[in-house]
Amino acid sequence: MTRHTALAVIAITGDTFETCRRSTIPANPGLVAWAHLYAQCGQAVAPIRSGPISRLAGHHALYQREMLLRHGQNLESLMANEALLHEDLRITGTEMYVLGDVAIPQVQISRLRTFIRHEFMSQRIYGAARASVFRWSLARRLLYVAGSPPIPILRVSRSISDIRRTGRGRTLLPQIIPVMLLGTLSGAVGEALGYLMGARSRDVAGRFEIELDRYAFVNRADSSSPKAPRL
């Protein structure tokens, strides 16, 4: 954690914070990259005011060690998909913060096919871990599968709200909507399969391949533009 980040954390949360996240700006702002950013991290895209937040996006989050250790044997599964960890924090009433004064450039996938594939794998892993960690019965899994069709519309609607909140409606809407729908539709299918059948090892491996070197999954236009520092 840099001194700037540490000071921002203390200023917003005092010294008692358990989890917070720096805000995000795109390092490669093409249309697919914007879609990926808002689909993943819409709630934390800059500009945003520092303060409590109800939904905390993954990546670049800061956690107190003691808080993480409270999760015991579930910690590995929760950290493999931080959205699941944040859901657990909401359930337990843990207050989460976003740091609007500390914005991190984040490289996003900008190849459409990779974006769709990544959404499928990530959401399948999420669905499998969610059902396992929270020990869902078969009946509850089937209930969530039956309720999955509206998920893409809900996710895109949230993203549109975040796009407007950050003042990018004129440049991104409506052309970003079809791209986001393709990604979130793929994600909804993956999530449903995760509830029913679990996650495959190749999904886990494929997701980590992308996450560990996103520069390998950007399009030609983004490859030729100046790169953000690897953080």
Distances (CA, A) of 82 to 78, 121, 223: 6, 14, 28
Task: List residues bridging with 104 in a β-sheet.
Answer: 24
Q: What is the DSSP letter of 19?
A: E
The pLDDT profile of the chain, 231 residues, written as one tens digit per residue, is: 555 555 555 565 565 567 888 889 888 889 999 999 999 999 899 999 988 888 787 777 888 888 889 888 888 888 877 888 889 888 888 888 888 888 888 899 999 999 999 999 999 999 999 999 999 999 999 999 999 999 999 999 999 999 999 999 999 999 999 999 999 999 999 999 999 999 999 999 999 999 999 989 998 887 766 554 443
CA–CA distance, 145 with 189 (Å, rounded to integer): 9
The three-class DSSP label of residue 209 is helix
pTM, two decimals, is: 0.88
